[in-house]
Amino acid sequence: MSGHSKWNNIKRKKEKTDGAKAKVFTKIGRELAVAVKEGGGPDPASNSKLKDCIAKAKAANVPNENIDRIIKKAAGEGDDTKYENITYEGYGPNGIAVIVEALTDNRNRTAGDVRHYFDKFGGNLGTTGCVSFMFSQKGVIVIEKEGLEEDKVMEDCLEAGASDFQADEDVFEVYTEPEDFSGVLDDLTQKGYEFVSAEVEMVPSTYTALTEEESIIKMRKLLDALEDNDDVQNVWHNWENADEDDDE
């Protein structure tokens, strides 16, 4: 089930407009810059945070020259913007659990924006820890199924150190422990695999379905508003049937 919901979140992202894709590139750029400054410099071989972030950027089709330019700029003296990592927790309509990860240079602005979105779309911002206990951190690697043999892919993934493997309609989902993520990704890259997405994520242990049209519309609007905010890097949630609802 976790994979089912995960893949539909990706599809939602893949179907975004060019303008929205540009925003995704900008957000990943901010993440890369912070990884260089906080993770220990511009060399991914000695900066695992940066290495994982580059993998995420490549899976999101950020061009290599963009990645190199951002890393060089962050390593130089020219960019002195200080970003702070902040995580917000709250509830969407009908108690859907939502975790919002932000990188911001203005904590008050971001907190005000996030609170406003929750209030506007039938949810409420909660206190730290109110929903995070329902999620666990996992490496999630998604591989497109086309032209691949399931048994072979599963064998390669488990050999690489993956903790779980699931086949969905269009993709294979590979789960790892957070500390094994880089190693598994390296191994699969060397075996020639390409990825739809690759990052360490917050994966929910249980899911909640929405059945009322009004709640579905509000939840969709809440996610759109959060994802559209420049300071918000990631939004994790446990909305079970986000894909079916998007078709209504």
CB 188 within 8 A of CB 152: no
Handedness of CA 79, 81, 82, 83 (dihedral sign): negative
pLDDT at position 12, please?
53
For the stretch 114-141, what's the b/e string if a residue is b when 16 or more beta carbons lie within 10 angstroms of its beta carbon? beebbeebbbebbeeeebbebbeebbbb
**Entry pTM:** 0.85
Per-residue pLDDT of the chain (248 residues; tens, 9 = 90+): 344 445 555 555 555 566 677 888 889 999 999 999 888 889 999 999 999 999 999 988 899 999 999 999 888 866 677 899 999 999 999 999 999 999 999 999 999 999 999 999 999 999 999 999 999 999 999 999 999 999 999 999 999 999 999 998 889 999 999 999 999 999 999 999 999 889 999 999 999 999 999 999 999 999 999 999 999 999 999 998 665 544 43
Residues 6+ apart with CB under 8 A from 185: 52, 55, 139, 141, 195, 198
Q: Structure tokens of 43?
A: 């060399």
pLDDT attached to residue 108: 97
Burial code (b: 16+ CB inside 10 Å, e: under 16) for 60-76 equals bebeeeebeebbebbee
Per-residue model confidence (pLDDT) at position 2 = 40
Q: Reduced to 3 states, what is the DSSP secondary structure of residue 236? A: strand
**Contact call for residues 142 and 171 (beta carbons, < 8 A):** yes
**Looking at residue 214, what is its pLDDT?**
96
